[in-house]
Structure 1
Amino acid sequence: MTRSRRRLAETALTVAAPLALVVLWEIAARSGLIDARFWPPPSSLAITAGELIADGTLASNVGISLVRIGVGFSIGAIPAVVLGLVMGLWWPARALLLPIASALYAIPKIALVPLVLLVFGTGEAGKYAIVAISIFFLVVLNTVAGVLAIDRAYLEVARNFGAGAGARFLTVALPGALPSIFTGLRLGLGFSLIVIVGTEFIASDSGIGRLIYDSYQRLALRDMFVGLVVTGLLGWLLTFVVDLIERRLVPWRESA
């Protein structure tokens, strides 16, 4: 199968699976197989989504959540990549910090929300902080793994040609670790979306998480389902954007 045909097949399957799920959901709700009071048919959700878009509720809450994710993700990911590269190249840093990073990574980040909000407050700083913390150790560990997977011969060749530590950092370690870095970033975006929605449940008066929770409290189930569907679409969109960037920066991975 040629590459173009494979991409076409992948696109068709990507669209077909959720479309089939929506059709089955619609049929089940309309036929009474599931209780439409608790599982509103997708056609009614489309009407509700249109109403939320028309009055600006959906766009404003989605925008607020995306800003929180974007700022927090940047604060967490950039230093995580730098630290991961340092740990991968320099064994004393790895020996000192890897056990700590591994231990802190294992803590469910949603469990840290009360502590983070206590330290940083319930304002925007607290939300940025919880997103940054939720992805920091994940990206660090993936970056370290990417550097350690590089053939040591490349580093030796760079050293033999007179490349200093900075040059090896930028020309060998960073490009070689990019596939693992992007894996960490992709997973981190999913983590950040989960954490920010959970945080908005309990410590926010805005955002997609708050929209879902308020709808639940009012028993406005259609609004709640719209929020859930939009959250899922955001997760897919964020992953898609990372994939596009990766194809630009790591073209050899796609060809492989």
Structure 2
Amino acid sequence: MKKDERAIRHDPFEIEQREWKQRQTKERLKQLLTIASPIFLLLLWEFLSRTGAIDIRFFPPPSAIIGTFFGMISSGEMASHIGVSLYRIFAGFLLGVIPGVIIGLLMGLYSPIRHFMSPIVMALMPIPTLALMPIIIILLGIGDLSKVVTIAGSVFFPVVINTVAGVINIDSIYLDVAKNYGASKWDFFWKIALPGALPVMLEGIQMGQAIALLTIVAAEMMGATSGIGYLIWTSYKAFLLQEMYVGLILISFFGYLFSLLLRGIQKKLLPWR
């Protein structure tokens, strides 16, 4: 029996199974901790509000905020704000990411384009897009287009910079092999530059989605008649803090959701990472 037990303990299949179970347990623990932290924060907030440790005029309990949220949903007010903001975020995000990736790949691959574009990118990047909002509103009005362009401008620069860095950091051996085998410019672009730059590029896109959420709130505060940012600003001015917190929590939720979606896409595209 002891020999059989030792054989089982040293069986490669059994060892692999134990390691797989340990990895699964660790993954479940990580997922549990990820869910537990926001729940803990909300419970602590609720407790402090109910016990009077914090002023409920400025920090209403989460249960009251949730009640306000469902009241706004039932009235139809919330759906319009969410729909408008999501449209602006997605449109601006795509309008910033697609040109950012293409220009970043061209700048990384071709030195003349990089030298031509770098001064323009470096000169415009430090200027906050929101600082240009008055000019954008003058040119495009206070409709959706001005918000979309503002978000696109904010997203464009981190995507360009990260894409260029990703292409430049591709191991030269891949570029030499492609040249030696007579790869066309099309193959060079899609089969060498894009996959090679993808890890760093996706980090830039991840940063871009966070910037898009920051920008939409500020843009809708400055010149809009709808959207989550508009809801936050008008609720603050009217001292309707429960409605204001609803808007803030919605932005936080969408930021977390978009981050998870992009991380999922990254795992699919880059399973080795």
- Please, which of 139, 154, 178 is the counterpart of residue 159 of structure 2? 139
Matched, 1:42 2:59: no
Matched, 1:236 2:236: no
- Give unpaired runs (5+ residues) of structure 1: none
Q: After superposition, give the CA deviation of every residue in 1:79-137 in whole Å (9 maximum; x if it has no partner).
A: 11000000001111112212321232222222221122222221111111101111111
Query: TM-score, normalized by length of structure 2?
Result: 0.89
Matched, 1:176 2:196: yes
Aligned to 1:75: 95
Aligned to 1:115: 135
Q: Distance in 2 between matches of 1:141 and 1:206?
A: 32
Matched, 1:51 2:63: no
Q: After superposition, give the CA deviation of every residue in 1:161-211 in whole Å (9 maximum; x if it has no partner).
A: 110222111001100111111111111111111111111112111100111
Q: Distance in 2 between matches of 1:198 and 1:6?
A: 39
CA contact (8 A) 1:72 1:129 kept: yes
SS of aligned partner of 1:163? coil
Matched, 1:154 2:174: yes
Q: Distance in 2 between matches of 1:104 and 1:13?
A: 41
Q: Distance in 1 between matches of 2:49 and 2:168?
A: 52
Deviation at 1:75, TM superposition (A): 1.1
Matched, 1:61 2:100: no
1:22 is aligned with what amino acid?
A: L
CA contact (8 A) 1:22 1:42 kept: yes
- Judge which range, 69-78 or 109-118, deviates more: 109-118
CA contact (8 A) 1:72 1:128 kept: yes
Aligned to 1:12: 32
Q: Distance in 2 between matches of 1:155 and 1:170?
A: 13
Say how many residue pairs are matched: 253
Aligned to 1:86: 106
Over the matched positions of the two proteins, sequence identity in percent amounts to: 43
SS of aligned partner of 1:251? coil
Q: Distance in 1 between matches of 2:198 and 2:158?
A: 14
- Please, which of 119, 122, 127 is the counterpart of residue 99 of structure 1? 119
1:118 is aligned with what amino acid?
A: I
Q: After superposition, give the CA deviation of every residue in 1:6-58 in whole Å (9 maximum; x if it has no partner).
A: 32222112111111111111111111111011100111111111101111211
- Judge which range, 93-102 or 203-212, deviates more: 93-102
SS of aligned partner of 1:122? coil
Q: Distance in 2 between matches of 1:188 and 1:132?
A: 9
SS of aligned partner of 2:57? coil
Q: Distance in 2 between matches of 1:159 and 1:3?
A: 42
- Give unpaired runs (5+ residues) of structure 2: 1-18
Q: Distance in 2 between matches of 1:175 and 1:113?
A: 35
2:243 is aligned with what amino acid?
A: D
CA contact (8 A) 1:120 1:129 kept: no
1:147 is aligned with what amino acid?
A: V
Root-mean-square deviation (Å): 1.3
SS of aligned partner of 2:272? helix
2:141 is aligned with what amino acid?
A: G
CA contact (8 A) 1:102 1:141 kept: no
Deviation at 1:155, TM superposition (A): 0.8
